[in-house]
Structure 1
Amino acid sequence: MSKDTAIDLDRILQQLGAFGKYNIVNYALLLFPIYLAGMYGSVFVFEASDINYRCKIEQCEGLDDTSWLTSAIPLEGDRLSKCKRYAAIVGNETCRAFNTNITIGCDAIQYSHYVLLQFDLGCQNWKRTLIGTIHNSGLFVSLPLTGIMSDRFGRKKALAVASLMNGIFGFARSFSVNYVMMVVFEFLEAALGAGAYTTAFVLAMELVGPKGRVFGNTLINFIFTFGLMTLPGLSWWLQDWRQLLRIIYAPAMLVLSYIWLLNESVRWLLSKGRNEDAIEILRKAAKMNNVDISEELNPIFEMKVPEPKQTKNVDAENDRTSTFARVLKSRIIRTRVIVCSFLWMTCTFVYYGLSINSVGLGGNKYVNFMLVGFVEIPANFACLLVLDRFGRKKILIIMYILSACLCIGLSFIPKDHKLLSLIIYLSGKFSITVAYSSVYIYVSEVFPTSVRQSLLAICSSLGRVGSTLAPLTPLLALYYDNLPSIFFGSLALTASAMVLILPETLNVPLPDTIEEAERLARPKSVSAE
């Protein structure tokens, strides 16, 4: 596909309108799997949450009066110890006969509910937090795999298959009979299905022109946040991890129907030389939006499928492998992959880390998680206001620095100032959410169409080192309460400096060829639409 074709396509998308009837119908379909992804990405937080449990004291269990607890179990801070008890006085089996000078480990655990009860994970925090790590490690497989499928076979097929895998393995996980079975299905669900979100995102970004990308991204993030906030509400109501999994994963299987319902990305079709299919969809869009394309842009509707002689074009379908090889040989694009991967890793580490650690804050863990999710709504609205006005680079740098200052600042706030700590905590989540939303747009704008999702998937999968490590950060708090926040802030500060390496992409058409992507690094190539 030539440069002229790419520019014409963006101009046609502009004339069709960013959100006409055609776009609304397709966006409505895409928002459903995105809503589900909002729950799937953090379900492990409630699937294996750290609940109230303690040592089981056989001679005292079943008594209506619980005043014996402080006689049998030592305090750790202001709470009863979860994994220690006082030794019973030998020969005295009464409920209050304990030697408070001798502390021993639990013989058995008294649970309330959830995974810890059914798989006996009490006092094994590493096994509990490993569930989240196993889930996120699956993304190292899913994102590049789905990206390759998407770039080769089409966006809608990749989306449908990935969502089906989500539904099958997520639903099956609810019938786990032991810990090993659960973590295996946890991995498979993420490894084969987690790419559904990135596929839906790329398809949505390619559906509109430059002026509609930020608004489209904001809409996607609103729906994702709605899914994120639905999760603690369902978990609070159900109080049963098996029912929770069945309710949220069963609807994912419906997305298989998108193979027949959803329109393929016109930009992807053109990059593969399938011009007739692309033209048919553009005509359908113009008819649905009741728009007449101006005469100067009509030549794109006269395009024919390339003749065999034209196969030298590196962006044609027959040169998929050589195109990807050329991309990797480009020093400019290789540098972008490295930088974008680090930016993504920082966002996932801080974003998921703050979300996961929120359930450890004082108060109701479900409400805390909802608040941490709710703050993403104004954060995404802020993206809508500032990204198209001030550009991508400035906003990213400011948000990373702000997030670093807020996270590190938490360590200087006294423990008894809970309200102030919560405000600072939510402000840190606000700033990293703005950065995360900006990175998603930014990364989709700096790579060529023919390998856009593959490279986006590489950046995302490498960046998932952050989300893989994030579930383990609550263990750091066992040594120092604010150690997770200090880690978050240090990484964000480093990321702010690395943004300076990337080009500005404000109002620049999506690059369709390697040459166009490389020219983004040159100031003269950046021009308003």
Structure 2
Amino acid sequence: MANAVSASETIDLDSILKQLGAFGKYNIVNYALLLFPIFLAGMYGSVFVFEAPDISYRCEISQCEGTNESFWVEHAIPRDKNELSKCKQYQFIGNYSQSNRTCSEPDFNKAVIEQCEKYVYSDEDSAVKDFNLGCQNWKRTLIGTIHNSGLFLSLPLTGIISDRYGRKVALSIACLMNGIFGFIRSFSTSYIMMLIFEFLEAGLGAGAYSTAFVLAMELVGPKGRVFGNTLINAVYVLGLMSLSGLSWWLQDWRLQIRVIYAPAFLGFTYLWILNESVRWLLSKGRQNEAVDILKKAMKMNKVDLSDDVLLPLSELGNAEDTKSKEVTPKEEEKSSFSRALKSNIIRKRVLVCSFLWITCTFVYYGLSINSVSLAGNKYLNFMLVAFVEIPANFACLLVLDRFGRKRTLITTYVLSACLCISLSLIPKDQKWLPLIIYLSGKFSITIAYSSVYIYVSEVFPTNVRQSLLAVCSALGRVGSTLAPLTPLLALYYDNLPAIFFGSMTLVASALVFTLPETINVPLPDTVEEAEKLSRRKDVKDNA
């Protein structure tokens, strides 16, 4: 009975939202407010790339420092890949004298190579320099891993707050946490302090994006969601590009953090200026507040809706209060979740979908992070790799309904694999070809990532769809957590990260064959209906 009430509620509300219009003044104003934290989230999600970029440095040879480097550096430091080594030096055998501080080739024994003890850093700005992380690449890349590991905390925590206390409460708190812990991080006096606040900022604030996304999707009717989703993705990409532009301009990672995190405090004011989700209010039985917000929207959009249209919402809320006593939602949800996991088909589907998600996050974030190591201007490279997501999301909308989910996923995974692996076959003297292939790889994996999100929501039954999607999404964060460590692979072979990306996408493409096609198929409402998807032949597009 409770499920029937919820379904009716959704239908009635969607009908009202349709009459209000998808692009009225109320929608535009509230959508603009929600796009602001999404824009900020685009910067926060990858800020670690520019906090601790790899910079130039060499061994500090105290006996020779202060003299003309052109006379002794080439003889003091061995070459690694045609460049002066960052971490090694030849043994110093010269007779050091305070009165005669000169160094030359005879002062170094090239038969003995030693590890550096101290470093001389370039003028480039980086946490590597501030915290003396020379030749400790694992510490440098760990910053991004610690940041992304915070998502394991933020997603469920923000979800609980959002469902229990409201969307705007969860969004306001997350923005405040971003501002507080992000701003404090800019004053880090040690590497450990930086890691602590890196985790706290993401662990308590990264949920701002998901909450704003949910609010935005609940704000408009069905016809406005596709455009709204595309707009959200585009604004997120603009945040990524702005991050790179600011880093290029400021050249100061501490100042950059203060500049991008200060606006997050404005998000806390949403607690008073943003309207709560009407859907959430109705789900909590607060129908009078929901009706007041709808009336406000009517006034702003200059749409007249009679009281007869809004009256059913109030009656529906009263009915739900009465019938909710007959069914305990938590008990029903727990029972449905357990029943779903008892199905071999559903369990296998969860495992496969989780791997698809891990692959997407791993390759998607890995390509973005490693783009700064491409030849050329690292800031422009990062901007281009981010910008390519905009046409990729539009392409996703075009191909999913035309060619189907499975064919799109298999094609984009295989294409990503071929493009990534081909990077290792390109001669190093090529300048633009590697970048073009790199951008094409990011284009294809972005389509796959967007497709997976839609596809996973279609292969699970309605009564546990949100729960199982959350499981796949949470496991998928393993990929984004490991992605910042991939630059370490390049220390052994320049194209090893790309080969690793290609190998994972090939495995993912093979696993897609084990899943059913869902194009033009009604969403399954029960476990039995979901199982039937795997027992029927792939559905052809009858459109």
TM-score (norm 2): 0.86
Q: Distance in 2 between matches of 1:338 and 1:276?
A: 43
Q: Distance in 1 between matches of 2:434 and 2:149?
A: 31
CA shift at 1:402, angstroms?
1.8
Amino acid at match of 2:255: Q
Equivalent residue for 1:278?
290
User: Is the counterpart of residue 21 in structure 1 residue 25 in structure 2?
Assistant: yes
Equivalent residue for 1:465?
478
User: For 2:112, which of 102, 115, 125 is the aligned residue?
Assistant: 102
Listed one character per residue, the Cα deviations across residues 260-310 of structure 1 (whole Å, up to 9, x for unaligned) are 222222233333333333333333333322334599966644534335531
Equivalent residue for 2:70?
66
Secondary structure of the 1:237 match is helix
Listed one character per residue, the Cα deviations across residues 410-468 of structure 1 (whole Å, up to 9, x for unaligned) are 22223233322111111001111222233344556777899877665443322110011
Equivalent residue for 2:95?
91
Q: Distance in 2 between matches of 1:27 and 1:443?
A: 26
Amino acid at match of 1:77: K
Q: Distance in 2 between matches of 1:254 and 1:456?
A: 31
In the TM superposition, 1:475-514 aligns within 5 A as: 475-499=488-512, 501=515, 504=518
Assess, with a 3 A threshold, how the Cα gap between structure 1 residues 313 and 166 changes in structure 2: closer, same or farther: farther
User: Is the counterpart of residue 350 in structure 1 residue 333 in structure 2?
Assistant: no
Tell me which moved more, 454-463 or 295-304.
295-304
| Contact 1:87-1:98 at 8 Å conserved across structures | yes
Secondary structure of the 1:426 match is helix
Amino acid at match of 1:479: Y
Equivalent residue for 1:7?
11
| Contact 1:503-1:521 at 8 Å conserved across structures | no
Q: Distance in 1 between matches of 2:27 and 2:528?
A: 30
Listed one character per residue, the Cα deviations across residues 154-194 of structure 1 (whole Å, up to 9, x for unaligned) are 22211111111111111111111111111111111111111
Tell me which moved more, 256-265 or 57-66.
57-66
RMSD: 3.3
Assess, with a 3 A threshold, how the Cα gap between structure 1 residues 449 and 292 changes in structure 2: closer, same or farther: farther
User: Is the counterpart of residue 311 in structure 1 residue 324 in structure 2?
Assistant: yes
Q: Distance in 2 between matches of 1:143 and 1:448?
A: 22
Q: Distance in 1 between matches of 2:289 and 2:462?
A: 17
Aligned residues: 522
In the TM superposition, 1:162-177 aligns within 5 A as: 162-177=174-189
Amino acid at match of 1:341: S
Equivalent residue for 2:340?
330
User: Is the counterpart of residue 426 in structure 1 residue 434 in structure 2?
Assistant: no
| Contact 1:45-1:132 at 8 Å conserved across structures | yes
Tell me which moved more, 296-305 or 355-364.
296-305
Larger radius of gyration: 2
Equivalent residue for 1:181?
193
In the TM superposition, 1:100-139 aligns within 5 A as: 100-112=110-122, 113-139=125-151
Equivalent residue for 1:33?
37
Tell me which moved more, 490-499 or 334-343.
334-343
Q: Distance in 1 between matches of 2:292 and 2:442?
A: 44
CA shift at 1:38, angstroms?
0.7
| Contact 1:229-1:374 at 8 Å conserved across structures | yes
Q: Distance in 1 between matches of 2:146 and 2:58?
A: 26
User: Is the counterpart of residue 255 in structure 1 residue 267 in structure 2?
Assistant: yes
Amino acid at match of 2:72: W
User: Is the counterpart of residue 363 in structure 1 residue 367 in structure 2?
Assistant: no
User: Is the counterpart of residue 212 in structure 1 residue 224 in structure 2?
Assistant: yes
Assess, with a 3 A threshold, how the Cα gap between structure 1 residues 239 and 441 changes in structure 2: closer, same or farther: same
Q: What runs of 5+ residues in structure 1 fail to find an aligned partner?
A: none
Secondary structure of the 2:262 match is helix
User: For 2:419, which of 406, 415, 423 is the aligned residue?
Assistant: 406
User: For 1:229, which of 229, 238, 241 is the aligned residue?
Assistant: 241
Q: Distance in 2 between matches of 1:334 and 1:254?
A: 43
Q: Distance in 1 between matches of 2:48 and 2:31?
A: 28
Listed one character per residue, the Cα deviations across residues 343-400 of structure 1 (whole Å, up to 9, x for unaligned) are 3222110011011111111222222212211222222232344445555554333322
Equivalent residue for 1:437?
450
Assess, with a 3 A threshold, how the Cα gap between structure 1 residues 383 and 284 changes in structure 2: closer, same or farther: farther
CA shift at 1:71, angstroms?
1.8
Amino acid at match of 1:120: N
| Contact 2:519-2:541 at 8 Å conserved across structures | no
| Contact 1:143-1:458 at 8 Å conserved across structures | no
Secondary structure of the 1:161 match is helix
Amino acid at match of 1:408: I
Amino acid at match of 1:49: P
Listed one character per residue, the Cα deviations across residues 14-61 of structure 1 (whole Å, up to 9, x for unaligned) are 333333222211211111111111111111111111111111123443
Assess, with a 3 A threshold, how the Cα gap between structure 1 residues 506 and 213 changes in structure 2: closer, same or farther: farther
Secondary structure of the 1:87 match is strand
Q: Distance in 2 between matches of 1:150 and 1:526?
A: 39
Assess, with a 3 A threshold, how the Cα gap between structure 1 residues 158 and 393 changes in structure 2: closer, same or farther: farther
Tell me which moved more, 203-212 or 361-370.
203-212
| Contact 1:211-1:507 at 8 Å conserved across structures | no
Assess, with a 3 A threshold, how the Cα gap between structure 1 residues 165 and 427 changes in structure 2: closer, same or farther: same
CA shift at 1:89, angstroms?
2.6
Q: Distance in 2 between matches of 1:374 and 1:499?
A: 28
Secondary structure of the 2:61 match is coil
Q: Distance in 1 between matches of 2:480 and 2:356?
A: 12
User: For 1:140, which of 148, 152, 155 is the aligned residue?
Assistant: 152
Secondary structure of the 2:264 match is helix
| Contact 2:176-2:267 at 8 Å conserved across structures | yes
Secondary structure of the 1:477 match is helix
Tell me which moved more, 88-97 or 367-376.
88-97
Q: Distance in 2 between matches of 1:185 and 1:476?
A: 27
Listed one character per residue, the Cα deviations across residues 223-265 of structure 1 (whole Å, up to 9, x for unaligned) are 1111111112212222222111111111112111112222222
TM-score (norm 1): 0.88
Secondary structure of the 1:305 match is helix
Q: Distance in 2 between matches of 1:7 and 1:455?
A: 24
| Contact 1:442-1:505 at 8 Å conserved across structures | no
CA shift at 1:209, angstroms?
3.0
| Contact 2:246-2:256 at 8 Å conserved across structures | yes
Secondary structure of the 2:109 match is strand
Tell me which moved more, 199-208 or 378-387.
378-387
User: Is the counterpart of residue 44 in structure 1 residue 48 in structure 2?
Assistant: yes
CA shift at 1:471, angstroms?
0.8
Q: Distance in 1 between matches of 2:382 and 2:149?
A: 23
Secondary structure of the 1:383 match is helix
Listed one character per residue, the Cα deviations across residues 69-118 of structure 1 (whole Å, up to 9, x for unaligned) are 22221111121100011222332663223223322111310013321122
CA shift at 1:220, angstroms?
0.8
Q: Distance in 2 between matches of 1:149 and 1:132?
A: 26
Q: Distance in 2 between matches of 1:271 and 1:528?
A: 36
Assess, with a 3 A threshold, how the Cα gap between structure 1 residues 396 and 506 changes in structure 2: closer, same or farther: farther
Q: Distance in 2 between matches of 1:521 and 1:25?
A: 43
